[in-house]
Amino acid sequence: MKSLVLEKKDELSLRDFPAIDRVEETLTSRDVRIKLHTVGICGSDVHYYTHGRIGPFVVNEPMILGHEASGTVLEVGSDVTTLKVGDRVCMEPGVPDPNSRATRLGMYNVDPAVQFWATPPVHGILRPTCVHPEAFTFKLPDNVSFAEAAMVEPLAVGVHAATKARVKPGDIALVLGAGPIGLVTALSALAAGCARVYVTDLAEKKLEIASSLSQAITPIDITKEDIVDVIKRDTDGWGVNIVFEATGSPRAAAGIFEPLCPGGCVVMIGGQPDPISYDAGAAMVREARVENIFRYAHVFPRCVDMLSSGAIDVKPLITKTFDFEDSVHAFEIAASAPPADVKMQIELPQ
């Protein structure tokens, strides 16, 4: 099967990958076989490409990249009831051990045994077909495109973050970072009931995209304005109810409580690759709540429903689409972190 393979750090190739054919030959009674259609390029895919590792996850063997995907069902196992051949679907990339303690507690995303696409040693899905459990495969309504459906994975992070923040109607939120995760978090915070959301970045084009998403989004260009000044000015010195950290930057984390109101909530989303620290004293004097999120759990169907109803529109975030044949080139561009791009996607031949 021709696949996009990360051979090792800084080396990608589009080539046959016989090992995956052997592994995927059989599908069990609760699996479906899927023909991949669209795969988004994630910051984590790019990080494995440029660094060969994320924290404890190290690329020691050639690995197929990609985990944000949509496609069409080709074959169903004998016990599959919710999907049929020809259904258009999106897939949740992390499959936990169904019997693990974390899964039984409802926190399957933090199951230490979770198998997540394109996280070593598990292969990703930049390849023609894959086999996946029915339980982690979600049927798409006709009005959700393959491109939008491949955005469900990053959107799930934003929805999970807004859920853990316990957004109340009328809350004011601040999102640090206007990358794909920052922007889906801003959209999720609004869908959850925020009255206004501030979004920060230093790339002008990303901030333009942010403000185009909703009139309730106010961009803050951190090369021109001080975040705390803007927030204090606009909230009569009180601060925002929620700060979502989506940059992973130690500098952003260091001052994260400054724009927060007393009793507010900080949600840590970014920052897995490198350790970051924040000021616990600043959290105490506000009695701030701090939430940490790792991927998501139980939110894919909600994301699909919100895309279908129009409650959330992710189309403006998709800024470039490449053919599968150009996927090495696509990753080279993604690795250069183009300031005008939010989400780049790859389309597989149908």
What residue ranges bind Zn ion (CB under 5 A)? Answer: 42, 68
Cα 245 to chain centroid, rounded: 14
Taking the least distance from each CB to Zn ion, the nearer of 94 and 259 is 94
Say how far apart CA 148 and CA 155 lie, in whole Å. 10
Taking the least distance from each CB to Zn ion, the nearer of 44 and 241 is 44
Shortest gap between Cβ of 45 and Zn ion (angstroms)? 7
Taking the least distance from each CB to Zn ion, the nearer of 6 and 80 is 6
Taking the least distance from each CB to Zn ion, the nearer of 255 and 316 is 316
Contact 120, 59 (CB under 8 A): yes
Burial class (CB in 10 A: 0-12, 13-18, 19+), 328: middle
Say how far apart CA 191 and CA 175 lie, in whole Å. 14
Size (the chain), residues:
350
Shortest gap between Cβ of 295 and Zn ion (angstroms)? 9
DSSP-based three-state secondary structure for 327: helix
Shortest gap between Cβ of 29 and Zn ion (angstroms)? 29
Shortest gap between Cβ of 115 and Zn ion (angstroms)? 15
- DSSP secondary structure code for residue 47 in this structure: H
Taking the least distance from each CB to Zn ion, the nearer of 155 and 172 is 155
Shortest gap between Cβ of 67 and Zn ion (angstroms)? 6
Q: Output the residue with the shortest Cβ distance to Zn ion.
A: 42
Taking the least distance from each CB to Zn ion, the nearer of 231 and 297 is 297
Shortest gap between Cβ of 314 and Zn ion (angstroms)? 13
Across-strand partners of 175? 199, 244
Q: Could you give phi then psi for residue 331, rounded to 5 degrees?
A: -70, -35
Q: In the structure encoding, which two tokens stand for residue 184, read together?
A: 């889906």
